[in-house]
Structure 1
Amino acid sequence: MPEKGKVSVIVPIYKVEKYIHRCVDSIINQTYVNLEIILVDDGSPDNCGEIVDDYQESDTRIKVIHKKNGGLSDARNHGMKQATGEFIMFVDSDDWLDKTMIELLVSNSIENKADIVQSAFYYAYEDRLLIDNRYSTEGDSLEILTNKSLMYELVTNKKVKNFAWGKLYRTELISDIPFEKGVLFEDIFWAYQVMQRVNTFLLLQQPFYYYYQRSDSIVATYTPRNLDIIRGLKERHLFIEKQYEELTDASFKEILKMCLIHYNLLLLNRKKDKGGTHRKKIHSYIRDNNSNLKRAVQDERELQRQLFLFSFHPYLNVLYLGLRKGLRKIKLLSKPEGLKQVDV
């Protein structure tokens, strides 16, 4: 039986020696003290194992698990098996928390009888913080989502992100839903399974989570494994068609966006896509689902244009995007609304 009021904070750890102190210290120093801090050393080859052992000796709330490397999903699953709290939080080991985050999430969960509470977050760089305020602002009051509005926000990737972190979950809601092992973007495969169970989802507009942005370029580090995100969206789409039919078009739209992005990334990394195999699969999917995709983007002119060009020839869309980028650079086109830098 989960211990009432206790929060189990699960931190998978792998090759983050440079960041681990900042992360763990931000959890230890929370104003909410009824914590169980589960540090899962996922076979890290650096000094992380020794560092977390030292933490365990200095704080009785800390529980360390050492295991063979199995990836982020496997580490989280091990942590969930050991969790004894009424609530669970996931924190990635290069991120960190505002000291009041857990206290505010717990109090709001109890007060509103919420299954999940999510806070806003910062995109944290070495020299600046950015926030996405396109869909809400920090001054807004909290927002309560019912199941259908929650699924819409999850599918459209606006107010509710697929990230497992940044949210407080009631343990009973998620304890029997493991993360899929062996995939990248595991949160895509997991989040919709959780959200379908939710009656009350609470959004806090204030940012309390710092999502660290490493300097590695996705172009430089790209591999075909990144295509797992498209597979996850397609798996979710099958579920959406059966359970939330009214969101089918919204789901198709997100798949199209991701297909276009990854086609271009594969083009930039042609040596990693021998014979263009993965590009051909994306092209085939868009061709085979063209009528559905056209319907899905009929309210969004920019995507209509990209779909038309891609359907005629994928390289035409690449040329169009390059031209648009150049026009924005010389300020003949306005930049799209995006992230806003905040004062620290």
Structure 2
Amino acid sequence: MQKKVSVIIPVYNVAEYLQQSVDSILRQTYSNIQVILVDDGSTDESSNLVDLIKKKDSRVEVIHKNNEGLSDARNVGLTLATGEYVYFFDSDDLVESNLIEEAIQFLETKQADFVTFTHDFFNQHNRYQKGKINNREYKFSRIVPNEELISKLLIGKVRVAAWSYIFRKKVFTDAGIVFQKGKKYEDNDTTPLLILASSKSGILKSKSTPYYHYRKRTHSLTGSFDKSNYYDLISITNSVIKIIKENTSISYELNVYCLNQYLSAFRILKIVHGDHKEYSEINEKIRKYISIKNILNSQKTLIKFCYWKFWNVLRQAD
């Protein structure tokens, strides 16, 4: 008998994409699913649409709540999840029909609690950017020691996002893990906590097409910035540092992670026009982690560093 999988889908003003996205879940070859649509105070047609979707499929449940953000919507959805396994799915993305079946087969066969899987990106014009994220870590399916997997996560070799893995609910709830309410970048600290709490964790390779298709939207939660992005990123980074230092012996990868996070925070300050004190504080954090080895960890890190260096040279010249 198939074990139930609860799919939690926070919904906020995504009427244009919601039906297509939910359909990709409802068309799964794995039938024993509970789909929880958490309407987080949508002001467009999403609120009506989730009710219409519920009427058409008995596996769908709907919650309407005041807008309190993605983290709270996920936490609320989790309280209603009755499945042995849980998946947090984003309401504007798409998945292949075999994702849940093959993920659960991996988890059951390997007796694992956590599995992350392949993905790609596509934009608002349905143009795909395949192969840019599915690096060599996803070339074959396997169990990966938890600390090693966290190391790969910290330096961007595997994804940290909640939509990129399926997990055993009991492990998450028994460890008392919750998403930080009102914070952006909330996946950054919950994911390593979940991996640390798992008995076994793994990576699942797709046979052909990546399992998950992430829609890049200009005006999505992560596609626009204000000062809260900056302060949330700093706060979550501090949380991750604490988690890693208290529970692992990881050093180099944590330093690379911190450098990348703080360089990203600097870029946000440039976008939202930070003040002198904020620039001084973030530059001090960045300088703490600068080394040739850290900068050359990846092309992405190098580009971020060059951006930071360029703007600091300009500021000194003024």
TM-score (norm 2): 0.86
Q: How does 1:100-111 map onto structure 2 within 5 Å? A: 100-111=98-109
- For residues 66 and 209 of structure 1, what CA distance do their matches in structure 2 show? 26
- Encode CA deviations 1:213-269: one digit per residue, 9 max, x unaligned: 113499983212222223212221122222223x22321222112222332342243
Corresponding residue for residue 127 of structure 2: 128
Aligned length: 307
Q: How does 1:190-209 map onto structure 2 within 5 Å? A: 190-206=190-206, 207-209=210-212
Contact kept, 8 Å, 1:224 with 1:278, in 2: the verdict is no
Corresponding residue for residue 313 of structure 2: 316
Letter in 1 for 2:155: T
Specify whether residues 35 and 282 from structure 1 end up closer, same or farther in structure 2 by C-alpha distance, changes over 3 A only.
same
* Secondary structure of residue in 2 paired with 1:262: helix
Specify whether residues 30 and 240 from structure 1 end up closer, same or farther in structure 2 by C-alpha distance, changes over 3 A only.
same
Letter in 2 for 1:277: K
* Secondary structure of residue in 2 paired with 1:183: coil
- Encode CA deviations 1:190-209: one digit per residue, 9 max, x unaligned: 11211111232121122111
Residue 243 of structure 2 is aligned to residue 239 of structure 1: yes
Residue 251 of structure 2 is aligned to residue 248 of structure 1: yes
Corresponding residue for residue 60 of structure 2: 62
Using the TM superposition, give the Cα deviation of residue 45 of structure 1 relative to its aligned residue in structure 2, in angstroms.
0.9
Letter in 2 for 1:54: L
* Percent of aligned positions that are identical: 29
* Secondary structure of residue in 1 paired with 2:16: coil
Corresponding residue for residue 216 of structure 2: 213
Specify whether residues 244 and 32 from structure 1 end up closer, same or farther in structure 2 by C-alpha distance, changes over 3 A only.
same
Letter in 1 for 2:270: L
Q: How does 1:110-149 map onto structure 2 within 5 Å? A: 110-125=108-123, 126-130=125-129, 131-132=131-132, 135-136=135-136, 140-149=139-148
CA RMSD of aligned residues (A): 3.0
Specify whether residues 308 and 114 from structure 1 end up closer, same or farther in structure 2 by C-alpha distance, changes over 3 A only.
same
* Secondary structure of residue in 2 paired with 1:40: strand
* Secondary structure of residue in 1 paired with 2:67: coil
Corresponding residue for residue 223 of structure 1: 226
Residue 265 of structure 2 is aligned to residue 267 of structure 1: no
Corresponding residue for residue 155 of structure 2: 156
Gaps in structure 1 of 5+ consecutive residues: 320-344
* Secondary structure of residue in 2 paired with 1:60: coil
- For residues 307 and 71 of structure 2, what CA distance do their matches in structure 1 show? 38
Corresponding residue for residue 297 of structure 1: 294
Contact kept, 8 Å, 1:146 with 1:201, in 2: the verdict is yes
- For residues 105 and 258 of structure 1, what CA distance do their matches in structure 2 show? 30
- Encode CA deviations 1:8-48: one digit per residue, 9 max, x unaligned: 00000000010100111111111111010000011111111
Corresponding residue for residue 336 of structure 1: none
Using the TM superposition, give the Cα deviation of residue 163 of structure 1 relative to its aligned residue in structure 2, in angstroms.
0.3
Corresponding residue for residue 329 of structure 1: none
Corresponding residue for residue 48 of structure 2: 50
- For residues 98 and 163 of structure 2, what CA distance do their matches in structure 1 show? 16
Using the TM superposition, give the Cα deviation of residue 307 of structure 1 relative to its aligned residue in structure 2, in angstroms.
6.7
Corresponding residue for residue 324 of structure 1: none
- Encode CA deviations 1:154-183: one digit per residue, 9 max, x unaligned: 22221x211011211101011231111011
The structure 2 residue matched to 1:94, chosen from 88, 92, 95, is 92
TM-score (norm 1): 0.80
- For residues 20 and 304 of structure 2, what CA distance do their matches in structure 1 show? 42
Letter in 1 for 2:147: K
Specify whether residues 300 and 107 from structure 1 end up closer, same or farther in structure 2 by C-alpha distance, changes over 3 A only.
closer
Contact kept, 8 Å, 2:118 with 2:211, in 1: the verdict is yes
Corresponding residue for residue 185 of structure 1: 185
Gaps in structure 2 of 5+ consecutive residues: none
Specify whether residues 308 and 99 from structure 1 end up closer, same or farther in structure 2 by C-alpha distance, changes over 3 A only.
closer
Specify whether residues 111 and 258 from structure 1 end up closer, same or farther in structure 2 by C-alpha distance, changes over 3 A only.
same
Corresponding residue for residue 325 of structure 1: none
